[in-house]
Chain A
Amino acid sequence: MRTYHLVLLTGFGIFSLISLFYLIRVVKEGRRSDPSQPEGRVLPAVVYALTASMSPLRKETAYLHVPTYTAGLLFHVGTFLGFGWLAIHLFQLRIGPFLTTGSAFLLMVSAVCGLSILIKRIVTPEMRILSNPDDYASNLLVTGFQALSALTLLRSDLIPVLFIYGGVLFLYIPASKLRHTIYFFTSRIHLGIFYGRRGIWPPGARR
């Protein structure tokens, strides 16, 4: 095992432990007991909260902002694809040229999407007011990760650099806004519970 392997694995290990801690804490803390008589069912609402409620057919922030929504979606796909390739490189799995080239293309597209979101944050006055240094840094770090992942698929000698970069990224996630990796899911679950008990979600169950 080389140093760059260690950096990646250490980063990933710390990220996993902290993320697990975050998750366990949120589950353990739970939510305030609600003795009100429920009007709807929670489970279908939570499923809806994690699926259809986010579609551009339902969510205003999606259908009013199709370019940003699409860029955001691709950006996230690229991130997870990048993580997938980290694992592939780490375990030295053999992947065909079609998937490799396709992934490189998709990663480059997602990096461009990340860059476009970053530019939007920089040039839009409202966004600048809303933003703090971490918002820019988080975007830049993830965009860079995607671009580097793409390059690595074309030049394998960059793998050590990607591993070190990945390790740093993993370390940064729990400390920054990137921790929404975990809290995104718990927020949507809580929102689903809230709307589900009241019979608001899913829309078909309304009175």
Chain B
Amino acid sequence: MSVVKRMTPDRQRALNLLKERLDGRLRSHLNSCVRCGLCGESCHYYLTKADPRYLPGYKVDQIAGVFRRYYTLIGRLFPRWVGARDFDEETIEEMVDVIYGACTMCGRCSLHCSIGVDIVYLIRTARSMLAEIDLVPPGLQSTVDAAVETGNNMAIPREELVDTLQWIEEDLQLDLEDENASIPLDRKGARVLYTLNPREPKFFPLSISAAGKIFHVAGEDWNISTHVYDVTNYAYYSGCETTAAELTRRLYDEAVKLEAEVLLLSECGHGFRSIRWEGPQWINRPYPFEVRSVIEQIADYIRSGRIRLDPALNQQPVTLHDPCNLVREGGVFESQRFVLNNSVQNFIEMTPNREDSYCCGGGGGQLSMSRYRERRIEAGKLKADQIRETGAKIVATPCHNCIDQIMELNLVYKLGIQVKTVAELAADALVRTEKS
């Protein structure tokens, strides 16, 4: 028999958080894992390096073991017998390493778990506990802090954003040979409020340009807010729900202020998941506007004939990487395929794809946690091999985190590919008609 040790106040806060979150869903998942070990093949970390610490079941046990120790009778009385563990320094150190450093929260293991444990949900809860005691890895925390303090995760000053968008607008006018082509800013009453990943104005202006081109040809009534535009929400990854709610509330307020009917999200996996699905739970209210991914919108433009595309304008073989948070965890499966099938001549599916797609390794906030870079690149080898097998020259993916990771994989594993957003390929295939 073992006595539960006294907790330091900060650790007690983390345990209290676990208790506060303990609803029927969390309790079910915490009690279900039978440690069958079959989940290994679902995890890109385990598949690339057969370290048992990378088994999803092992990661689950980090939080489930703590739960058993403090919130079950048998775990309090006979901790060793049931694998209950004290929430001590050793446990916390291991939790940080495997919960932050060896998981992208891609959800592949949850989908295939032999029992049905929502492993991502448990990882998120574990991250919340660690965030409660300020143990978020510094790179990830500074990304969150930048978003909170400056309004975007890359700390881009507003003037710089406006300059960039104006430059893109001029470029768009030249490209379309139409002086009416524009990037409307801060316009109240526009039907669509379009968000950006700060990486776009900073490093990938072409993807903003592509979206602008499509909106213009489709005759969309749209605009971008220069005050609140960041589609990302890294607090989802850090586990701090208070901050996640704050960032969601800002977007919500801006969309309401600008009277938008549609909050249109640029190509960002976790941004889609955070805003579309988690956001209403964080701020505990429904949205009075619709939330969509831009690729769903482009697919609608094609279906309704608002834009016409010519696949012959994209001749090179293209493959698609499914971002986990948009597809497996977000439910957008076919829109990106529909757009690509209309935009490129030779579209090759990766195997496996859709909900079975392997994570590229860039999710979970991994790109901002430099201490785990080596692991991230190693885990990405699975995706690199998948890409190579398709023989494609272009990888399309509707997510900027995935783009960054695949670009890095391209360099490390010498894939010889280009990486593009889906909107970029659609914009390249746009056919101007008299009407447009």
A residues engaging B (CB < 8 A)? 25-37, 39-40, 49, 54, 59-62, 64-65, 68-69, 72, 124-127, 129-135, 137, 175-177, 179-180, 183-184, 186-191, 194, 198-200, 203, 206-207
**B401 CB to nearest A CB, Å:** 20
Contact between A131 and B24 (Cβ–Cβ < 8 Å)? no
Residues of A within 8 A of B40 (CB): 126
Contact B118 A194 (CB under 8 A): yes
CB within 8 Å of A: which of B58-77?
58, 61, 73-74
B232-290 with Cβ < 8 A to chain A? 276-281, 284-287, 290
B158 sits at the interface (CB 8 A):
no
B203 within 8 A of A: no
A186-B356 contact, Cβ under 8 Å, with A36-B286, A132-B80: no
Cβ-based interface call for B3 (8 A): no
Q: Is the CB of A35 within 8 A of B286?
A: yes
Chain B: which residue is nearest A192 at the CB level? B116
> Once the chains bind, are B285 and A35 in contact (CB under 8 Å)?
yes
Residue pairs across A and B with Cβ atoms less than 8 A apart, 23 shown, are A25-B24, A29-B23, A29-B24, A31-B24, A32-B25, A32-B281, A33-B284, A36-B277, A36-B280, A61-B41, A61-B42, A61-B114, A130-B52, A130-B55, A132-B83, A134-B81, A177-B34, A184-B115, A186-B24, A188-B115, A198-B331, A200-B329, A207-B331
Is B335 on the interface with A (CB-CB < 8 A)? Answer: yes
* Distance of A174 Cα from B199 Cα, bound (Å): 51
Q: In the complex, how many angstroms separate the beta carbon of A183 from the nearest chain B beta carbon?
A: 4
> Out of B112, B284, B334, which one reaches A61, CB within 8 Å?
B112
Q: Are B42 and A60 in contact (CB under 8 A)?
A: yes
- Interchain CB contact under 8 A, B284 and A35: yes
Interface residues of B (CB under 8 A from A): 22-25, 27-29, 31-32, 34-42, 50, 52-53, 55, 57-58, 61, 73-74, 80-83, 110, 112-118, 121, 276-281, 284-287, 290-291, 296, 328-335, 355-356
CB neighbours (8 Å) of B57 from chain A are 130
The contact of B41 among A28, A64, A191, by CB within 8 Å, is A64
Establish whether residues B331 and A187, one from each chain, have CB atoms under 8 Å apart when the complex forms: no
Q: Are B52 and A134 in contact (CB under 8 A)?
A: no
Q: Is the CB–CB distance between B113 and A61 below 8 Å?
A: yes
Question: Counting chain B CB atoms within 10 Å of each CB, which of A130, A134, A137, A186 scores highest?
Answer: A130
Is there contact, CB below 8 Å, between B34 and A206? no
List the A residue with the shortest CB-CB distance to B276: A36
Contact in complex: A127, B28 (CB < 8 Å): no
Residues of chain A contacted by B42 (CB below 8 angstroms): 60-61
Question: In the complex, how many angstroms separate the beta carbon of A200 from the nearest chain B beta carbon?
Answer: 5
In the complex the two chains form, what is the Cα distance from A34 to B435 in whole Å? 43
Listed from nearest, the 9 A-B pairs whose CB atoms lie closest are: A132-B83, A188-B116, A198-B331, A29-B24, A61-B38, A26-B24, A186-B28, A31-B25, A35-B286
Contacts of A177 in B (CB 8 A): 34-35, 82
User: Are B112 and A191 touching (Cβ within 8 A)?
Assistant: no
Known: A61-B42, A130-B55, A134-B82. Contact between A187 and B28, CB under 8 A? yes
Chain B proximity of A79: nearest CB distance (Å): 13
Known: A194-B118, A206-B333. A184 touches B32 (CB 8 A): yes
Partner of B31, one of A33, A64, A180: A180
B17 to chain A, nearest CB (A): 14
Known contacts A26-B24, A126-B55, then 12 further A-B pairs from the complex at CB < 8 Å, ordered by chain A residue: A32-B25, A35-B281, A64-B38, A126-B37, A129-B52, A131-B35, A132-B80, A180-B31, A187-B116, A188-B116, A190-B24, A207-B333
Q: Which residue of A lies closest to B21 (CB)?
A: A32
Q: Which residues on A sit within 8 Å (CB–CB) of B115? A: 180, 184, 187-188
Q: Which residues of A contact B291 (CB under 8 A)?
A: 37
* C-alpha spacing A9/B92, complex, angstroms: 43
Assess the B281–A36 pair: CB atoms within 8 A: yes
B37 neighbours in A (Cβ, 8 Å)? 124, 126-127, 130
Which of B81, B279, B296 is close to A132, meaning CB atoms less than 8 Å apart? B81
- Given A130-B37, A130-B55, A31 and B23 touching (CB < 8 A)? yes
Residue pair A32, B23 in contact (C-beta under 8 Å):
yes
Q: A59-B114, A72-B36, A190-B29 are in contact. Are A37 and B83 (CB under 8 A)?
A: no
Q: Which of A33, A39, A68, A131 makes the CB contact (< 8 A) with B38?
A: A68
Across the interface, A180 reaches (CB within 8 A) one of B22, B32, B355, namely B32
Do A176 and B23 contact each other (CB < 8 Å), given the known contacts A32-B281, A36-B280?
Answer: no
Is there contact, CB below 8 Å, between B334 and A207? yes
**Cα distance, A53 to B80, chains bound together (Å):** 34
In the bound complex, residues from chain B placing their C-beta under 8 Å from that of A26 are 24, 27-28
Residues in A with CB closer than 8 Å to B114 are 54, 59, 61-62, 69, 72
A194: nearest chain-B partner, CB-CB = B118
